[in-house]
A and B are shown apart, each in its own frame.
Chain A
């Protein structure tokens, strides 16, 4: 069990993921697109969301504070990247 947190269009919300395997970053982005398109998160439905909407986002992963992954799961944050630079 994991919880996916998506920040998009001024909202930040959790979506439960019933998965028992290690998701790749690409998996997370693809799932997020489908969740937002389908309205899986209240207040955050964009039916025509582009396939590449989260290409410039990064995936942060954290274990639950007590480290009990089976019961409390992992938290996966999909957030915008924030590096800057002149190159």
Chain B
């Protein structure tokens, strides 16, 4: 698949995996800084349960850019936050604390939430497969606008 079809997608998630806000880049490897993204995070801070983005060409790991951004966000919001990455090979989650200490280890999510397939498709990835090799049901969560 051409990388031109792939892009990083960012979502703010509320209770029950409801997508509160999203944006996307034109690149499969970077999602540039955005004042609009920050304003959305601040406006929705009381309802955000999880912050996720895609790595459509991998890796299934948080980058240094991700790590410094997550640290800045918890400092600004004053509370721990759950962050996740969705890559072709799986999903990774990590809680960023506000104590400034060493980041806890990220964990691979075996039973992915329903919104990950929508995020994969929006990013140009293929939908996740179940154990029999069939694409999992695609559920587009209700999105608020």
Q: Identify which of B50-58, B101-109, B110-118, B131-139 touches chain A.
A: B50-58
Q: Name the residue of chain B whose CB is nearest to the CB of A56.
A: B72
Q: Which range contains the number of B residues in contact with the other chain?
A: 35 or more
The total of interchain contacts (Cβ-Cβ below 8 angstroms) comes to 85
Which residues of chain A come closer than 8 Å to B77, judged between CB atoms?
A: 10
Contact of A81 among B30, B55, B68, B100 (CB under 8 A): B68
User: Does A45 have its Cβ within 8 Å of any Cβ on chain B?
Assistant: no
Taking the closest CB of chain B, its distance from the CB of A53, in whole angstroms, is 7
User: Does B34 have its Cβ within 8 Å of any Cβ on chain A?
Assistant: yes
A9 to B79, CA, bound (A): 7
A20 to B121, CA, bound (A): 51
Which residues of chain B come closer than 8 Å to A81, judged between CB atoms?
A: 33, 68-69, 72
In the complex with contacts A56-B69, A81-B68, A82-B38, A87-B30 CB distance below 8 A: yes
Q: Name the residue of chain B whose CB is nearest to the CB of A10.
A: B78
User: Does B122 have its Cβ within 8 Å of any Cβ on chain A?
Assistant: no
User: Does B75 have its Cβ within 8 Å of any Cβ on chain A?
Assistant: yes
Q: Name the residue of chain A whose CB is nearest to the CB of B79.
A: A10
The digit string for B24-43, where 1 denotes a CB below 8 A from any CB of A, is: 00010111111101100110
- Does the CB pair A56–B57 fall under 8 Å? no
Interface set, chain B 80-113, CB cutoff 8 A to A = 100
The 9 A-B pairs at the shortest CB distance, nearest first, are namely A10-B78, A80-B72, A85-B30, A56-B72, A9-B78, A80-B76, A83-B33, A86-B55, A84-B31
